[in-house]
Structure 1
Amino acid sequence: MVNKTFAAVLSLVFLASNGSFEVEADEFRQLLRSGEYVQALGRARANQDMVLRQQQMIQIARHQAASGVQAGALESLASLQDFADGSLIRSTGQAETRPMPSGSQGGAAMADFDTLIDLIKATVAPDSWDDLGGAGTITPFPGGIYVDRDGLMVRLDSRRDSELQGIRREQFDGMFSDKGQDVRETSSMRKVSLVRLQRQLQLLQLRNERADQVMRNLAGIYKIQYVLVYPDQRDIVIAGPAGPWKENGNGRLVNTNNGKPVLKLDYLVELMRNAYSANPTFGCSITPRTANLLKAKQYLASHNGKPLTPQNTDAWIQGLRQSVGRQDVEVFGTDNQTHLAQILVEADHHMKLVGLGEVPGVPGMNSYLDNLVQSDEPTQGVNMLRWWFTTNYQALHASKDGLAFEVVGPAVKVLSENEIVDQLGNRQQTGKSDPLTQQFASEFTSNFEMLAERYPVYQELRNVFDLAVISMLIKSHELDRKVDWNPEFYTQSYGYQPVRAQAVNSVKSVVSYRITTDRVVLAAVSGGVIVDPLPVVNQKNLKQDDYGILNAEYQGNRGIDLPGNTWWWD
C-alpha cells in the first residue's frame, strides 16, 4: 500500500454547494449537483438512449423542484414523451401529438411522477394549485396541458376557461407599446427611455399597482450598447439588442433565442441608488472564520505523514470539511436582501467551482487543482488563495458633444492574490500572486466570453457591471441635469421598490482534492466581487468616437414622435 504524504494547499472556498464535494467522473451528475440544470438538460436531450434520457430528465426535474425552480421542473416533466397521453398544448393553443412508447404510464413511472408533483407542490404557495383551492393545475390527465410563457403548466379544462383567459391576458399585459410594436419581436436595437419609464412607474405606484413583466425586464434588452442623451426632449435613453424571453432550466429569465439573461429593472434601481450614494463601491466578500482556519491548520498538522488509502480518504476529507466549517458573507454598497446581492454571491461562488474543477470550464482551460498536480510544485503549508471579480472595460466611447456613449469591453475580469494563515489562524495578505493562482485568473478572464455562453450567471454579472457603469455615468457627468430630470424615483428608497429576497449571510466551505501516486493535493479559494464604477467613467477613460457611428445612432432617434405612455420602441 502506497504511503501518501499530505502536500496540502488549504484553500477555503466559500461555496454554497448542494452537491458532492468530490470531483465526479460523471459530468451529468456533477452538473446536477452544482445546480447547472441548463447544461444538464442539454446533455440529457442529446442522449440517444431513450430510457436513459427519460431517467435523466426525471433526475433533472427532481433537482429543479427541490431547488425551487418550479417552472423548469414542470417543463422538464412535460418533455417526457411518456407523460400523460403525449399531447402537449403550448401557448399557441396548437396541440402537438407525440407517439407514446410501449409500456408508458407504467406503475413505476407514474409513482415517480406523482412523487415529483408532490415535491413541486410543496415548494409553491398553497393557493396556487386547484386541488388546494387555487387556480392552477398540475395533476396528470388525458387531454394535454397548457404551458404559459413563464413555463407554468396548466390543465386545459372547459370549467377553467375563464381562468385560462385570465392567464392569457396576464401574458400579454404590457407586451405591446402604444405604437403597436410587440416586445416579443427580435430587435437589433431596442430603446428604453429611463425618464418615460420612471413616469409610468410613478403612475402605477399612485394606483397601488406593480410594474408589469415588460417593465421588470426592461423590454427584453439583454446587452446595453448605447446611452443617448436628448436635452431638447428631456430624455435619457439606453439602447441594445432585445427580444422575447423565457425562464430557463435554472429559473433565470433569458432571451429565447440565445439564452442570454435580460436586463432587470430591479438591478438598475439598486445600482442607481448606489451611484448616488456617498460611497459608490459595491460588491461582496466571503470571510473565513479565524477559529475555523486554526482548526483546519491543526487538523492538517495532526494527520501529516499518515498513510492515506482509498478506504480512509472519504473520512479524512469529511473531517477536514468539518474543521473548515462555514464562512461569513458580507454584501456592501447595496441591500443584502435583493436578487442583485444574490447574483454577486452566486457568480463568485460559481467561479470558485470552475477554479477547483467542481464544474467544467471550457476547452483549453484547466482548473487550478489540475495545474497544481501537473506542476509538481512543493507544498507551501496552509496557503489561502484569493480570486475576485472586478471591472474590465477598455474605454467608454463618447460623441464630441458628450451626449452619446457606447459601452465597450468584456466588463469582467478576475484578479488573484495569495494569503498566509499564521499559527493563530489569522490571515495575512501578501500582495502577491503565485504563478498558478495567477494563471487561473488570467485564463478565466481571457475565456470569459466562452464561459458566459456556457454559464448564464456570468452574463448576468456583466449586466450588473454595465448597469453600474451607466448609472455612474448619469451621476458623475450630470446627465440628469442636462435633461432637467430628477431621477429620485430610482435613486431614493421611497421610490420604486425592488423585490425582496433572502439575504445570504454565510456559506459552506468546500474542500476539493486530487490524489496522485505520492501525494494528496488540497485546494480551494476565497475572494468576492469588488466594483468601483467611478474610474470607468472618468473623463480620461472616455474615447472620442471618430467614425461617426455614435452620432448616426443618436441622430436616428432625435425628435422621434412618441405617444405619451410609450417608454420603449424599436
Structure 2
Amino acid sequence: MTSSQFHSLPFVTSVAAVVCITTSLHAGIGTTTGRAVGGVLISPEGIVRNATIEEQRELANVARAAHQDPQGDLTKPTDMRMISLAGIQAELKKSHDAGKPVPSDVIYMAGLTRIEYVFVDADNNDIILAGPAEPWQFREDGSVVGAVSGKSTMRLADLIVALRSVETARKEAISCSIEPTAEGRQNLRKMLSRLRLQPGQNPAIFEAQLKEAFGPQMILLSGVPQDSRFARILVASDYDMKRVALALTPSNVQGLPSYLEMAQNNRQSATQNPRWWMACNYEALVKSNDELAWKLSGQGVKTLTEQDIVTEDGQVVSAGKSDQVAQKWADAMTENYAELAKQIPVFGDLQSIMDVTVVATLITQERLDQKAGIDMAGLKGQTDIVELTSYAVPKAIAPECSFVRGRSGWVVTASGGVEVNAFEVVENQEVDEQVKETRGVALAVTDRGWWWNK
C-alpha cells in the first residue's frame, strides 16, 4: 500500500472536531431487488442510506423465502468439507439448462465458513477446496452466517468474481476508499475556521451545519466489478471499521473500545491525523513437494495505520510513521477480529473475500487448473452458464459526525480503506509434506457428489 492511498478526511483543528464518514452499506444476498441489499437501500443514482429495522426485516424475509434451508448432512457441522469446482460447474450448467434458479447449497458453497486447503485432483480433472462448514441461517439484518459458530457463510458469487478479476487485479489493486470532494473539504475547512466554542459547550450543536458543509463523500472502487456483491463488502467493511473506531457503532467486543475512547485523554497534534486500512493477513502458504496440495493459514485480515500530515492548504502527505494510540487501536482490532466478525458479520464477509481472492490468485499464478486438467470456463465467465446479480453501483454516501477532545483540542479525522493484495500472499510459500497426507485423505472418498466430508 502506498502512503497516499485511502485518505477520506485527514484534517485537524484546535477549535472543534468532527469525524465525517459514511452511511452503512452491508453486503447483499442476491435475492432482493437491485435497490435493496442487506442493511441498506440504494437509489438508481447510487446514493446509499441505512435501511430501517423494519426494512431490514422485510428484506431478510424476502431472502429467506427465496432460499432453501440446509438438508441432510448439510445440517451438521464439520471441521473439513470438500468442494469440487468441476462439480459446482456441473451444478451451474444443470440449473442453466433447466432454466431453474441455482440451488442454495451451491450459492452458499455447502456451508463453508473458511477455505483452508486447495487440492489438485488430476485423476478427476478437478480442483478441490476444503475447510470448515456448518448449516447456514439468516440473521435479522439479512446476513447469512453459520448456525453453530455465527461465522459468515461463504458465497460462490464472491469466488466467481475473484476468479474473473485476477488479471484486472494484476494491473490495478483490489481496493476501496471513501473520499470527500475537494469542494466539501474546502467548505468544511472554512466553517471550522470560523467556529468558536465557549467553555463547556458541546460541539455537537454544529453537527447539522458541518454535515451540510462537508457534503456527500465519493466511493472509489478498483480491481473488481463495481456492481458486484464483492465490491459492496469492501465498502461496507471500510464503513464499519470507521464506525467502530469513532464510537458510532459499538464493537460489542471486550478488548476493542473505540479509538475515541483511547484518544480522549491523549495529546493530539494540530497537523496530523491517523489513517487505518484493512489488508490481507496470512502466514506462508504451505505446499507439498509436487505442488498438488496447498494450505492457507492465518486470520485473513489485519488492520494497519499510518499518520497523515495536513498542510496549510488542506493537502495530505504521509508522515511515514504511525501514531501510538492509533497503532494501539489497530492492533486491538486485529487481535479481536475473529470475535468482531461474529458481532458485525460484514467483517466475516471481508474475511471470506480475502480467502477467495487468495485462492483465485493461487489457481491462476500456479496454473493449478492446467495441472488438474479442468476447464473452468463457466466459473471464469467464458460461457453463459451463470449470470451474477448486478446491483446499483454505490457512488456516494452522506457523512456522519462524531466528536473527541484531546488535551490539545478537538480532532477532525476520517480516513481508511481496504486493500486486497493476494499476489503478495501467494508469493510467500514453504514446503511441508504433511499437507500431502491431508490431500490423500480428502481425495480417498470415492462415493462423492460435488461436496463431501472428510
3-state DSSP class of the match of 1:275?
A: helix
- What one-letter code is carried by the residue in structure 2 that aligns with 1:349? Y
Separation in 1, partners of 2:167, 2:127:
17
Given candidates 54, 57, 63, the residue that maps to 1:65 is: 54
Tell me if 1:333 matches 2:223. Answer: yes
- What one-letter code is carried by the residue in structure 2 that aligns with 1:558? L
Separation in 2, partners of 1:363, 1:380:
31
Tell me if 1:297 matches 2:304. Answer: no
Tell me if 1:282 matches 2:190. Answer: no
Partner of residue 452, structure 2: 569
Separation in 1, partners of 2:445, 2:92:
22
Tell me if 1:195 matches 2:86. Answer: yes
Structural mapping, 1:360-399, within 5 Å: 360-361=250-251, 362-375=253-266, 377-381=267-271, 383-399=272-288
Partner of residue 10, structure 2: none
Of residues 255-264 and 320-329 in structure 1, the stretch that sits farther from structure 2 once superposed is 320-329
Partners of 1:7 and 1:378 within 8 A in 2 = no
Partner of residue 241, structure 1: 132
Give a deviation string over 1:158-190, Cα, whole Å, max 9, x none: xxxxxxxxx9xx737xx56xxxx5322222211
Partners of 1:513 and 1:520 within 8 A in 2 = no
Q: Are the structure 2 counterparts of residues 501 and 261 from structure 1 closer, same or farther at C-alpha, using a change threshold of 3 Å?
A: same
Q: Which runs of 5 or more residues in structure 1 are unaligned?
A: 1-5, 19-34, 37-61, 75-123, 125-149, 153-166
Give a deviation string over 1:283-321, Cα, whole Å, max 9, x none: 2111221221122221111124x42555x7443222222
Given candidates 289, 295, 299, the residue that maps to 1:410 is: 299
- What one-letter code is carried by the residue in structure 2 that aligns with 1:287? E
Of residues 352-361 and 520-529 in structure 1, the stretch that sits farther from structure 2 once superposed is 520-529
Given candidates 116, 120, 126, the residue that maps to 1:225 is: 116
Q: Which runs of 5 or more residues in structure 2 are unaligned?
A: 1-12, 26-38, 41-50
**Shift in Å, 1:428:** 3.0
Tell me if 1:462 matches 2:351. Answer: yes
**Shift in Å, 1:206:** 2.8
- What one-letter code is carried by the residue in structure 2 that aligns with 1:293? R
Tell me if 1:544 matches 2:431. Answer: yes
- What one-letter code is carried by the residue in structure 2 that aligns with 1:7? S
3-state DSSP class of the match of 1:490?
A: coil
Q: Are the structure 2 counterparts of residues 356 and 234 from structure 1 closer, same or farther at C-alpha, using a change threshold of 3 Å?
A: same
Partners of 1:9 and 1:380 within 8 A in 2 = no
Partners of 2:18 and 2:403 within 8 A in 1 = no
3-state DSSP class of the match of 1:474?
A: helix
Give a deviation string over 1:96-149, Cα, whole Å, max 9, x none: xxxxxxxxxxxxxxxxxxxxxxxxxxxx7xxxxxxxxxxxxxxxxxxxxxxxxx
Give a deviation string over 1:28-50, Cα, whole Å, max 9, x none: xxxxxxx79xxxxxxxxxxxxxx
Separation in 2, partners of 1:308, 1:187:
60
Partners of 1:10 and 1:384 within 8 A in 2 = no
Partners of 1:415 and 1:441 within 8 A in 2 = yes
**Shift in Å, 1:494:** 4.6
Say which structure, 1 or 2, has more relative contact order (CA 8 Å, 6+ apart): 2
Partner of residue 206, structure 2: 316
Tell me if 1:269 matches 2:160. Answer: yes
Q: Are the structure 2 counterparts of residues 419 and 568 from structure 1 closer, same or farther at C-alpha, using a change threshold of 3 Å?
A: same
Q: Are the structure 2 counterparts of residues 553 and 9 from structure 1 closer, same or farther at C-alpha, using a change threshold of 3 Å?
A: farther
- What one-letter code is carried by the residue in structure 1 that aligns with 2:415? S
TM-score between the two structures when normalised by the length of structure 1: 0.67
Separation in 2, partners of 1:198, 1:171:
20
Structural mapping, 1:88-127, within 5 Å: none
**Shift in Å, 1:257:** 1.3
3-state DSSP class of the match of 1:473?
A: helix
Count of aligned residue pairs for this structure pair: 415
**Shift in Å, 1:244:** 1.3
3-state DSSP class of the match of 2:325?
A: helix
Partners of 1:367 and 1:440 within 8 A in 2 = yes
Root-mean-square deviation (CA, aligned residues, Å) is: 2.7
